[in-house]
């Protein structure tokens, strides 16, 4: 992996860069659609290419359970399995340490999970997680980390920082495949001093990239802004900076202004399944009666397939009628919106006009 920092906005910390990865080039800032189980929900790989998604995200925990390593080895990796030729990043299962807390036990050796599918038990160690991701053949893999909830005590969060660094060091020692790059994950909750401690530990490993984990785990996002802003400054400028799992457009715009490069979240696909669309003025609920005979597209400014061909009235009709086409069309729109937002931010950064872009973006927001 090679990362080139092309430009930093003259008036903010926003950055534009390029990642050269084994399966292609990625221009930052970038949003990575989430394909947890080898698919971005409701979209084919061809549709993702048409949307110009440069990189997508998979999940080691879920792919380990289904379809499993035997199938992946037989087909030659995740790219071949899902017919996706562009880069893939895989999360390590660290988020499941938080989200599946009732189904796991952890200690310094690793995490023992009880499968949410069939109840069987298995153990993830830092070394095993690296091996699984190398076998998947992905471009970027994440270390196994402990992701504590926001309401954990500072002492508990500090312990997670220490354990995550222990696991990062073991993951770095286990990393053998040079065309799959390993990223470390900074923990520390909302405590800036713990974030700094975590980052300083991880930088001693000189990994190809670094991520901020442990956000969006129970806190209001604006409560997390100070820790996000400070943590970005703890990361090296010459390496990619990834903010994990943060997902509303306004949060991404704020984070780009703080100097972060890479983002992922399930929100655009999940919201499409519940009838929420993102657009230039905020968020729109398609089932609202006001859209019953509304013949304009979701967003008159949008150039996606959905907005070029279908009205709010039609989408509302499909959604109310429980037609799966509604979910497909709204997912296409939402993913396009996120990707296009990143393209617009990149252009603004390169023109030293990110502050004007950000101010205009926030001034335009309203909710229907």
- So which residues are the catalytic ones? 91, 264
Q: Please give the Cα distance from 162 to 248 (Å, whole number).
A: 30
Q: Please give the Cα distance from 85 to 349 (Å, whole number).
A: 28
What's 189's DSSP letter?
A: T
Burial profile 311-330: b = 16 or more Cβ within 10 angstroms, e = fewer:
bbebbbebbeeeeeebbbbb
Question: Kind and range of the H or E element at 196?
Answer: helix 192-203
Taking phi over 0 as left and psi of -120 to 50 as alpha, with beta for the rest, 218 belongs to left
Q: Decide if 273 contacts 365 (C-beta within 8 A).
A: no
Give the distance, in angstroms, between the CA of residue 330 and the centroid of all CA atoms in the same chain.
19
CB atoms within 10 A of CB 81: 17
Read out DSSP for 106-134? EETTEEEEEPTTT--EEEE-HHHHHHHHH
Tell me the β-bridge partners of 243: 212, 263
E strand map for 37-190: 56-59, 88-91, 104-107, 110-114, 121-124, 140-142, 181-186
Q: Please give the Cα distance from 137 to 338 (Å, whole number).
A: 26
> CA-CA distances (angstroms) from residue 245 to 25, 56, 213, 268, 295?
22, 13, 8, 12, 34
Q: Decide if 259 contacts 241 (C-beta within 8 A).
A: yes
Query: Which burial class, exposed, middle or buried, applies to 120 when counting CB atoms under 10 A from its CB (0-12, 13-18, 19+)?
Result: exposed
Q: Please give the Cα distance from 102 to 79 (Å, whole number).
A: 32
Sign of CA dihedral 75, 76, 80, 81: positive
């Amino acid at each position: 992996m090679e990362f080139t920092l092309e430009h930093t906005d003259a008036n903010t910390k926003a950055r534009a860069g390029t990642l050269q990865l084994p399966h292609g080039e990625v221009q930052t800032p970038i949003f990575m659609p989430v394909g947890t189980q080898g698919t971005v929900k409701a979209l084919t790989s061809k549709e993702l290419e048409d949307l110009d998604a440069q990189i997508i995200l998979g999940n080691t925990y879920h792919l380990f359970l289904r379809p499993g390593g035997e199938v992946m080895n037989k087909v030659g990796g995740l790219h071949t399995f899902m017919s996706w030729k562009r880069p893939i990043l895989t999360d390590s299962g660290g988020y499941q340490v938080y989200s599946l807390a009732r189904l796991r036990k952890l200690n310094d050796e690793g995490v023992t999970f009880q499968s949410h599918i069939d109840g069987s038990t298995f153990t993830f160690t830092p070394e095993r997680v690296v091996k699984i991701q190398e076998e998947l053949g992905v471009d970027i893999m994440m270390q196994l980390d402990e992701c504590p909830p926001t309401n954990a005590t500072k002492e508990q969060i500090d312990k997670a920082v220490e354990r995550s660094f222990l696991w990062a060091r073991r993951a770095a020692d286990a990393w053998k495949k040079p065309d799959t790059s390993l990223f470390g994950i900074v923990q520390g909750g909302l405590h800036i001093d713990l974030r700094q401690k975590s980052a300083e530990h991880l930088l001693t490993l000189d990994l190809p990239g670094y991520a901020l984990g442990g956000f969006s785990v129970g806190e209001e996002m604006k409560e997390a802004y100070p820790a996000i802003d400070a943590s970005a400054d703890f990361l090296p400028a010459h390496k990619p900076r990834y903010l994990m799992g943060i997902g509303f457009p306004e949060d991404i715009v704020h984070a780009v202004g703080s100097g972060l490069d890479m983002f992922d979240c399930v929100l655009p696909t999940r919201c499409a399944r519940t009838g929420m669309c993102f657009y230039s003025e905020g968020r729109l609920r398609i089932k609202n009666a006001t859209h019953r005979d509304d013949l304009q597209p979701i967003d008159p400014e949008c150039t996606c397939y959905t907005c070029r061909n279908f009205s709010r009235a039609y989408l509302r009709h499909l959604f109310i009628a429980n037609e799966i086409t509604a979910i497909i069309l709204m997912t296409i729109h939402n993913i396009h919106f996120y990707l296009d937002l990143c393209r617009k931010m990149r252009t603004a950064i390169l023109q030293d006009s990110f502050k004007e872009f950000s101010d205009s973006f926030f001034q335009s927001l309203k909710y229907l």
